[in-house]
Chain A
Amino acid sequence: MKYTLLIYENAAGFALRNDPAKAKDYWLAWPAYTKALQEAGVMTGGAGLEPPGTATTVRIQSGKRHVQDGPYSETKEQLGGYYTIEVPNIDAALEWAARVPAAPGSYVEVRPNLVVPA
């Protein structure tokens, strides 16, 4: 089964990337987690994302295009990155979700990938 781990972080979580005192751990922990997924042979894809401030949102409404600076929603937690994994079942997917080295206040949403009907 393929699952996607969607990692949502708050502003403090995003700020860690450039925090002089904590950035070092951040940049050690995430590649280590990615490596563990790879060594386990379960990782099929993923990416870290630039902070929500860099987002551009395109909407098509009544046939008209609306382009907006910033993310679609202004929620406290924003998508910070995702992994796609292939594991036997949801239990295994949750195990990997629990190991995500995200900062306190973050959360990981686990969703089965949509299987396109044949």
Chain B
Amino acid sequence: MSGPETAAAIERAARDSYGRLVAYLAARSRDLAGAEDALADAFRAALETWPGTGVPEKPEAWLLVTARRRLIDRSRHAKVHAEAVPALQILTDRDQELAQGESPFPDNRLKLLFVCAHPAIDVAARTPLMLQTVLGLDAARIASAFLVKPATMAQRLTRAKIKIRDARIPFEIPEAGEWLERLDAVLEAIYATYSLGWNAVTGSDSRSKELAAEAIALGRVLLQLLPDEPEVKGLLALMIYCEARRDARIDARGGFVPLSEQDTGLWSKTMIHEAHHLLLGAERARSIGHFQLEAAIQSEHTRRAVLGGKTDWDEIALLYEGLIRLAPTTGALVGRAAAVAEARGPAAGWALLLQIPPEAVVNYQPYWAQTAHLLAQLGPAPRARTAYERAIGLSEDPATRDFLLRKLSALPAG
């Protein structure tokens, strides 16, 4: 087998089973860093030996056995806990059985997801930890995505792993009493990944798209593990609805196209269909949650494609109302104002924007973009100008900034 072919096989094994292998190797010891190091060694060994021997019939099992051997070598070397080595030896025998048997090894990824989003772990470390241990993303890429100094990100991840090991955070499924709260932490962390990949319009064809794809991959893993949780379906539906419109956000010259002006022909029908199916399934459980509501808002937007260009803004405003009742986030408050403005006119929307506490929106770009949009309709121009400038100054994405610059230039003089 050629070098590139072997490399491709290893990459495939890494993508498909990295999280499963880490979760399985760390479940007992709770030592994520140790498991990751051993697995990295196993992947290196695969790169060295597979080109000669060929890719083994069960690559995952090969990697598991090799990684476990590394763990044993290390604990022998470190001479820690003399009794730990025989225990590890028993595990190795079990690995061998798994490697020879037909059944795949136990999937501990769900437990790993709950560990990553455990309340004892710093909120800022939860999503990065998931991306690293479940999906195998490297720390430098995670740092760029989160706009954090790479050394700081590496430190946060290390600290979180030490905490898991030393505080003996268990690899287990939470009890019923704390289930909803713990699940929500997992969902939030996955959605944070998606948002990072969605907000950058300019990068829609490269890294941000990959990050969004990783988030959707995590969502799919979760749905596979928890097929009956309505909020899991809600989150996955939300992400897929957004993803369906990704290509329509950019015109041929790289300019930003707002939702209301998008060519619905560019939306992915397959993805909308899948999201719709997921949302319907979620709603059948009759247990509302904020991801289902957000997905329902996106669903309403996509209905424009079949309603001859019409959007039911009253319905969207109502859904935002529900969202605010669950949690009055600044994003939901701005979203409701936008929907109300479309349904009942810019003055009604503006009145709602004025109710948001100013300190919450000092650096919140969507608020200023929405304010500018409404003031441009209400006049006078100078007030809209100031709001556009503020939105431009707070924009990070070049395509969004250019779009707002066009709008500002189009304002009447005076």
Interface residues of A (CB under 8 A from B): 24-25, 28-29, 31-37, 39-40, 90-91, 94-95, 98-99, 101, 104
Q: Does B409 contact A (CB under 8 A)?
A: yes
B389 with A31: CB separation less than 8 A: yes
B396 with A99: CB separation less than 8 A: yes
Q: Kindly list chain B residues whose C-beta atoms are within 8 Å of the C-beta of A91.
A: 147-149, 152
Bound Cα distance A25, B408 (Å): 10
Closest chain B residue to A98 by CB distance? B396
B147 with A32: CB separation less than 8 A: no
Q: Kindly list chain B residues whose C-beta atoms are within 8 Å of the C-beta of A25.
A: 402, 405
- Choice from A28, A31, A90, A99 contacting B394 with Cβ under 8 Å: A99
Q: A25-B405, A28-B405, A29-B405 are in contact. Are A35 and B393 (CB under 8 A)?
A: yes
Bound Cα distance A95, B402 (Å): 19
A35 with B390: CB separation less than 8 A: yes
B149 with A90: CB separation less than 8 A: yes
Interface residues of B (CB under 8 A from A): 147-149, 152, 362-363, 389-390, 392-396, 398, 401-402, 405, 408-409
A28 with B362: CB separation less than 8 A: no
Q: Kindly list chain A residues whose C-beta atoms are within 8 Å of the C-beta of B393.
A: 29, 32-37, 99, 101
Q: Kindly list chain B residues whose C-beta atoms are within 8 Å of the C-beta of A31.
A: 389
Bound Cα distance A114, B401 (Å): 33
Q: Kindly list chain A residues whose C-beta atoms are within 8 Å of the C-beta of B408.
A: 28
B147 with A98: CB separation less than 8 A: yes
23 A-B residue pairings within 8 Å (CB atoms): A25-B402, A25-B405, A31-B389, A32-B389, A32-B390, A32-B392, A32-B393, A35-B390, A36-B363, A36-B393, A36-B394, A39-B362, A40-B362, A90-B149, A90-B152, A91-B147, A91-B152, A94-B147, A94-B148, A95-B147, A98-B147, A99-B394, A101-B398
B363 with A40: CB separation less than 8 A: yes
Bound Cα distance A24, B402 (Å): 11
A24 with B396: CB separation less than 8 A: no
Q: Kindly list chain A residues whose C-beta atoms are within 8 Å of the C-beta of B149.
A: 90-91, 94
Q: Kindly list chain B residues whose C-beta atoms are within 8 Å of the C-beta of A95.
A: 147
Q: Kindly list chain A residues whose C-beta atoms are within 8 Å of the C-beta of B392.
A: 28-29, 32-33, 101
Bound Cα distance A34, B393 (Å): 7
Q: Kindly list chain B residues whose C-beta atoms are within 8 Å of the C-beta of A40.
A: 362-363
Q: Kindly list chain B residues whose C-beta atoms are within 8 Å of the C-beta of A34.
A: 393
For residue B172, give the distance in angstroms from its CB to the closest CB of chain A: 32
- Choice from B152, B363, B401 contacting A101 with Cβ under 8 Å: B401
A28 with B363: CB separation less than 8 A: no
For residue B147, give the distance in angstroms from its CB to the closest CB of chain A: 5
Closest chain A residue to B394 by CB distance? A36
Q: Kindly list chain A residues whose C-beta atoms are within 8 Å of the C-beta of B389.
A: 28, 31-32, 35
- Choice from A24, A29, A37, A104 contacting B401 with Cβ under 8 Å: A29
For residue B153, give the distance in angstroms from its CB to the closest CB of chain A: 10
Q: Kindly list chain A residues whose C-beta atoms are within 8 Å of the C-beta of B398.
A: 101, 104
B390 with A39: CB separation less than 8 A: yes
For residue B181, give the distance in angstroms from its CB to the closest CB of chain A: 26
For residue B371, give the distance in angstroms from its CB to the closest CB of chain A: 13
Most buried by B among A28, A31, A33, A104: A28
A36 with B390: CB separation less than 8 A: yes
For residue A25, give the distance in angstroms from its CB to the closest CB of chain B: 5
For residue A111, give the distance in angstroms from its CB to the closest CB of chain B: 12
For residue B223, give the distance in angstroms from its CB to the closest CB of chain A: 32
Q: Kindly list chain B residues whose C-beta atoms are within 8 Å of the C-beta of A29.
A: 392-393, 401, 405
Closest chain A residue to B406 by CB distance? A25
Q: Kindly list chain A residues whose C-beta atoms are within 8 Å of the C-beta of B152.
A: 90-91
For residue A105, give the distance in angstroms from its CB to the closest CB of chain B: 12
Bound Cα distance A23, B362 (Å): 28
- 17 additional A-B residue pairs with CB within 8 Å, beyond A32-B390, A33-B392: A24-B409, A25-B405, A28-B392, A28-B405, A28-B408, A31-B389, A32-B389, A32-B393, A35-B389, A35-B390, A36-B390, A36-B393, A40-B363, A91-B152, A94-B148, A99-B395, A99-B396
Bound Cα distance A25, B398 (Å): 12
Closest chain B residue to A95 by CB distance? B147
Q: Kindly list chain B residues whose C-beta atoms are within 8 Å of the C-beta of A36.
A: 363, 390, 393-394
Closest chain B residue to A102 by CB distance? B398
Bound Cα distance A25, B409 (Å): 9
Q: Kindly list chain B residues whose C-beta atoms are within 8 Å of the C-beta of A24.
A: 409
Most buried by A among B363, B390, B393, B408: B393
Q: Kindly list chain B residues whose C-beta atoms are within 8 Å of the C-beta of A101.
A: 392-393, 395, 398, 401
Bound Cα distance A31, B405 (Å): 12
Most buried by B among A32, A35, A98, A104: A32
Bound Cα distance A53, B408 (Å): 33
Q: Kindly list chain A residues whose C-beta atoms are within 8 Å of the C-beta of B402.
A: 25
Closest chain B residue to A90 by CB distance? B149
For residue B221, give the distance in angstroms from its CB to the closest CB of chain A: 29
